[in-house]
Amino acid sequence: MFGLFKKDPIKKLEKNYLALMEKAMEIQRSGDLKHYARLIEESEMIQMKIQELKNGK
């Protein structure tokens, strides 16, 4: 019953992942490839965390 209002950490991570990917796309279009690479690396780490949580359930 009390778990009803508990937020899902996977949804939060997926939201962060999508926001990073969108920001990375904008950075890539501006031509700053080093910053783009850092954002992609960060988004890949989030994607790995999402997979770990999904596999753990």
Report domain extents, the chain. 2-56
Residue that is written with structure tokens 């997926």 in the block: 14
Question: 14 Cβ partners below 8 Å, 6+ apart?
Answer: 50
Q: What is residue 8's three-state secondary structure?
A: coil
DSSP string of 26-44? HHHHHT-HHHHHHHHHHHH
Q: Count of alpha carbons within 13 Å of 56, Cβ hemisphere only? A: 8
Asked if residue 1 has pLDDT above 80, the reply is no
Asked if residue 54 has pLDDT above 90, the reply is yes
pLDDT tens digits, 23-51: 999 999 999 999 999 999 999 999 999 99
What does the alpha-carbon distance between residue 14 and residue 26 come to, in Å, rounded to a whole number?
19
